[in-house]
Amino acid sequence: MLIPCIDLQRGRAVQLIRGRERALAVDDVFGLLERFKRYPWLHIIDLDAAMSKRPNGALVRALIERARKTYGFKVRVGGGIRTIRRARELARLGTEQIIIGSAALRNGKINAKFLRMLAEQPGRERIVIALDTARGCITTHGWRKRHLVRAADVMLEFAAFCSGFLCTDVDREGTMTGANLKWFRELRRATSLPVIAAGGIRSRREIRALDRMGMDAAVGMAVYKNRLF
């Protein structure tokens, strides 16, 4: 299943190459909901919050409300969710699932106390852990901080606290160079939980291949540029 993404930066929907270079920006963020309405799920990611900059809080709230009430999307939200309070606020807004990235690790180790509290409320079934990888290792804080930990090696430990994983291949993110199916197969072998694949996806053939593995595909650049073939 294809899942479209709305990545927010300074009030605009953007697409970045490898998390660094901005390739495009869309001012009419709400117009994207109409464009993506045929898909059941939507990802909303606050990149500014992920990078510890001024968050797009009001815009995120408005997008969640309209996406759910007007278009019937199921919504996953991520980006800078580092407190129990923020996670529970998003749950109260009706967010089906909350993506936890940087806060899932502390000093390179699993932040078990924090994740245990999230698993209790808003609940394990609503928590998705982001394991984004650059040069083979997990990267956090808007892909600026690198940990000497491989995603496949920690999935089993994380599984007690979440209902699935969002795994982004940062080295290919925004490049439209094709999905690293070998890496995604490795991740599939490491966990029985649902995995959402992201990074470099450019074709429906790749989406079908991921679907056969039991993975959904979060797609950005190829959808925005109408180059998904």
**pLDDT higher than 90, residue 107:** no
Using CA atoms of 174, 175, 176, 178 in order, give the dihedral in degrees to the nearest 10: -110
Question: Percent of the chain, pLDDT > 90?
Answer: 92
What tens digit of pLDDT does each residue of 137-167 get?
Answer: 999 988 888 888 999 999 999 999 999 999 9
Instruction: Please pick, among 7, 169, 171, 216, the residue that the annotation labels catalytic.
Output: 7
Mean pLDDT, rounded, for 42-66 = 97
- Determine which of 10-14, 90-94, 134-138 has the lowest per-residue pLDDT on average: 134-138
- Quote the distance between the C-alpha of residue 55 and its chain's center: 16
Number of structural domains found in the chain: 1
Residue 37 dihedral angles phi and psi, to the nearest 5°: -65, -20
**Domain membership flag for residue 93:** yes
What pLDDT shows up at residue 98? 98
**Domain membership flag for residue 91:** yes
**Domain membership flag for residue 11:** yes
**Domain membership flag for residue 229:** no
What tens digit of pLDDT does each residue of 16-27 get?
Answer: 999 888 999 999
Mean pLDDT, rounded, for 121-145 = 93
Instruction: Return the closest-CA partner of residue 35 out of 223, 227, 228.
Output: 223
**Domain membership flag for residue 48:** yes
Instruction: Please pick, among 46, 48, 132, 169, the residue that the annotation labels catalytic.
Output: 132
7 is catalytic: yes
Domain with 144, as residue range(s), is: 2-224
What is the rounded distance in angstroms from the CA atom of residue 115 to the CA atom of residue 97?
14
**Domain membership flag for residue 113:** yes
- pTM value is 0.95
Q: What is the CATH number of the domain that holds 192?
A: 3.20.20.70
**Domain membership flag for residue 181:** yes
132 is catalytic: yes
